Structure 1
Amino acid sequence: MPLVSIVLPVYNGADYLDQSIDSIRKQDLEDLELIIINDCSTDNSAEIARAHAAEDPRIQVHDNPENLRLPKSLNEGFKRAKGSYWSWTSHDNLYRPDALRRLTETLAADKDAVLVASDYSLIDDKGTVKRLRKLSPIETMIAGNAVGACFLYRADIAQKVGGYATDLFLAEDYEYWLRLGLEGKILYLSEDLYMYRHHGDSLTSTRQADIRRMDAIVKARYLPLMPDAPKGAKVSACRQIFKFHPNTLTRLKFALHAVRLRPVIILKQLGFMKPAANPASEPKVFVIGWQKTATSSVAHALAEHGIHCHTNVDEATQMFRGTLSLSDWLHSIDAHTGLKDFPGTYLYRELEARYPDAKFILTTRDEAGWLKSLIKHVSTYGSNDLINALYGTDMTDLADSPELQATALTIYRKHLHNVRMYFENRPDKLLEVDLRAPDAYDRFASFLGDEKKLDAFPRANVIEGNPELHVKTATEST
């Protein structure tokens, strides 16, 4: 009996199938079986699979009588599995040589764990590694798929919970991880053990809207079953259900649930409540430019003018996780003369209500340059919960996804529009400035009512050592 069973469904995957199978055959854990399910391919995928099976007795190939698609093909494969640990892979993805051994060792060491997942690399159609994909915290699973592409789970638990949901094509894996998570612990292994290929024909490239809709359906099913999930993750799930679920009543139900979870924050964001005014003892300056518009450079310049900006990333993380309320966050601003970064970016109304004499600086940038800078940031450091919260979706694949780029641009434009409308006809309250403009610093100093302290804005938070990515951005596509 093999220790590990791997199922590999394939439909017209001849371009990459040989590499995928070869990565499994070269595992340093040899006690495995590979079950290839040919889902009525019309190319030579079946011939490639059978050529490998003829060379390696650990490989078996089965042909579906009709095209069943992914969930049913997985279930067909696991009907034949004999291993103690199960996993599956795609025809275009690759395991690193020690992947199955490290996953098996980790899962076997914790009897209370049902599944282990690891980090992985994103590669392009030529196999070039683009960046590392770090998993989100497992405890935030209800907000988004925190298991990813590289995983292993116990066969006995899988047999207990049943097969993949055939009515949830495009979200069958996400639903399955949530179902397994109700049975025991999910472990995170901080090692890069897999290579996930992102190319134009992959499902994540071609079916983003459908994936979001199916994810929202899954979230609506499982959120009531996860009362101990972090509050911030539950609120995020409610928002995604409200945006993408196809049923109007379900959307309204979870909108109300979000209000119950965070009544003050949600109602204030909807404009039904305002914090009590509490004028500051000294004027404050808030930098409310969107991410990657040189807000850090402005903060450095403000410091030269005696205004020290508090960067509230820690508070943002606490607010996202539900451990810091909006009122407590506003109180924390009292001790500072300035502020930059999320969540102040979009809470400028609340900040002005609390500090009526405050001034606001909206940093801007040309769209093409802004988008390339955002892509470079995500490619260098990866996405995270805060970035995903800003854009309402997982931004990991930003460099390769025109749809994600279009989403980012839409949100960026919306922020600029909302700020401009809110401060319309109040030039004394808002300075809109592109730091690349030749008169930018002069206008900045004049807005502060101060003499110039510098010759120009200092550069800050510049990503070094990362060449410009050769990607076609959404602004270049239109």
Structure 2
Amino acid sequence: MNRKAAAAKAPALIGAASAPIAVGLPVYNGEPYLTTALASLQQQRDVDFELWIGDNCSTDGTEEICREAARQDERIRYRRRERNLGSTGNHNRLVHESSARYFTWAAADDAYEPDRLRKMFDALADRPDAVLAFTSARQIDAAGETVGHWNNPCRTDHADPVVRIRDLIGLEHENYQCYGLFLRDVLTRTHLLPPVKNNDRILIAELALYGRFVEIREELLLHRLHDQRLTQSVSSRDWYRTQRTDGKRLVMPNVEEAGWYLRAVAGAPLSRQQRVLALLALRPWMRENAAPMARNLARAAVDGARIAASASGRLLGK
């Protein structure tokens, strides 16, 4: 039985029944655009889904907006986190909280055209060799006006996984594939989003080693560009300071990203030859980041020495 036939037999979402698609919406202080985002999801046509909202302890009106939406729509499950998990932790928690066959992340400041979810579902269900379906996008500003367009330049539907990761690593592109619809059981076999700033790029590169992507060349995602986006409003080092929750005191952003790319290739279902070629495909990224990695190591050495000196001073002062 193919995926589409299996999904068609799934029960409709009634009460606690599980839908074939889970939409995970991580949010922190998303009040400015959240109502629009929720409305566009609720207006998706001809598709059975449930919406999981993970609220990272928002301090604005996010909680009230979400609780009211959940009261009015039985497809919505709202969970306010017991503590702020950081952006990465909140995204990954949503994957594990849902149990649907298909999963997608939705942003609290984006919007969907009404047929986006159904078209991604149909495209992925028709392709047993695919692990992700995604669409083109229209970029909008804070007021909702069109400011740009995005189409995928990478050969993510190529039969060779090395070609797929080579393009994703080597070509200049926006990583909007991360807003697509995933085959959830494959997604959970990856490292998910690692605790580094450019984690979505690492995840998509890793996922490309597991299977092909289906592309829908229609602008069905409305991706909002504004000054308050997390990736735009904080520096790389501040991102680690505010978003990371693993307690590490020495931060080496570029070095750690390199390590996660290597882990992605090492853990993927590749032949020995493919693994070697996939590692070689990382060379453009490694060359571009060689100097930043050297600076990471130098700064870590200085910071480590300061931490050691401070610890010694405290011990001697006792």
| TM-score, with structure 2 as normaliser | 0.69
Deviations 1:136-188 (A, max 9, x none): 313311236664153111011123335432x22x2232222122222222333
Counterpart for residue 253 of structure 1: none
How do residues 164-313 of structure 1 correspond to structure 2 at under 5 angstroms? 164-165=193-194, 167-168=195-196, 170-207=197-234, 209=236, 214=253, 217-219=256-258, 221-222=260-261, 225=265, 227-228=276-277, 234-245=282-293
Match of 1:73 among 90, 97, 100: 90
Deviations 1:93-144 (A, max 9, x none): 1111111111111111211111122221111101111111122313311236
Counterpart for residue 157 of structure 1: 186
How do residues 3-22 of structure 1 correspond to structure 2 at under 5 angstroms? 3-22=20-39
Counterpart for residue 125 of structure 2: 108
Counterpart for residue 73 of structure 2: 56
2:277 and 2:216 map into 1 onto residues whose CA distance is 22
Q: Is the 8 A contact 1:136 1:146 kept in 2?
A: no
Unaligned runs of 5+ in 2: 1-17, 157-163, 240-251, 266-274, 299-318
Shift of 1:31: 0.3
CA gap 1:122/1:3 in 2 versus in 1, 3 angstroms: same
Greater Rg by CA: 1
2:113 and 2:90 map into 1 onto residues whose CA distance is 24
Counterpart for residue 97 of structure 1: 114
1:83 and 1:72 map into 2 onto residues whose CA distance is 20
Aligned residues with identical type, % of pairs: 26
Counterpart for residue 41 of structure 1: 58
Instruction: Decide which moves more: 95-104 or 173-182.
Output: 173-182
What is the DSSP-based 3-state SS (H/G/I as helix, E as strand, rest coil) of the residue aligned with 1:160?
coil
Shift of 1:227: 4.2
1:230 and 1:136 map into 2 onto residues whose CA distance is 21
| 1:124 and 2:141 are equivalent in the alignment | yes
Shift of 1:53: 0.6
How do residues 334-373 of structure 1 correspond to structure 2 at under 5 angstroms? none
2:147 and 2:174 map into 1 onto residues whose CA distance is 20
2:75 and 2:145 map into 1 onto residues whose CA distance is 29
CA gap 1:118/1:147 in 2 versus in 1, 3 angstroms: farther
CA gap 1:35/1:73 in 2 versus in 1, 3 angstroms: same
Deviations 1:202-247 (A, max 9, x none): 1232236558x8577434542683644597x644312322243366
2:29 and 2:92 map into 1 onto residues whose CA distance is 19
Unaligned runs of 5+ in 1: 251-478
**Letter paired with 2:233:** T
Counterpart for residue 387 of structure 1: none
Counterpart for residue 474 of structure 1: none
1:37 and 1:152 map into 2 onto residues whose CA distance is 18
Q: Is the 8 A contact 2:253 2:296 kept in 1?
A: no
CA gap 1:215/1:93 in 2 versus in 1, 3 angstroms: farther
| TM-score, with structure 1 as normaliser | 0.47
CA gap 1:62/1:221 in 2 versus in 1, 3 angstroms: closer
Deviations 1:374-409 (A, max 9, x none): xxxxxxxxxxxxxxxxxxxxxxxxxxxxxxxxxxxx
CA gap 1:214/1:29 in 2 versus in 1, 3 angstroms: farther
Q: Is the 8 A contact 2:202 2:260 kept in 1?
A: no
CA gap 1:38/1:118 in 2 versus in 1, 3 angstroms: same
Q: Is the 8 A contact 1:161 1:180 kept in 2?
A: yes
Q: CA RMSD in A?
A: 2.8
2:122 and 2:47 map into 1 onto residues whose CA distance is 14
2:185 and 2:150 map into 1 onto residues whose CA distance is 29
**Letter paired with 1:241:** N
Instruction: Decide which moves more: 23-32 or 181-190.
Output: 181-190
What is the DSSP-based 3-state SS (H/G/I as helix, E as strand, rest coil) of the residue aligned with 1:27?
coil
CA gap 1:145/1:156 in 2 versus in 1, 3 angstroms: farther
2:215 and 2:235 map into 1 onto residues whose CA distance is 26
Q: Is the 8 A contact 1:113 1:186 kept in 2?
A: yes
2:219 and 2:255 map into 1 onto residues whose CA distance is 29
CA gap 1:234/1:156 in 2 versus in 1, 3 angstroms: closer
2:36 and 2:296 map into 1 onto residues whose CA distance is 45
CA gap 1:183/1:215 in 2 versus in 1, 3 angstroms: farther
Q: Is the 8 A contact 2:138 2:221 kept in 1?
A: yes
Q: Is the 8 A contact 1:120 1:150 kept in 2?
A: no
How many residues matched? 247
CA gap 1:200/1:246 in 2 versus in 1, 3 angstroms: farther
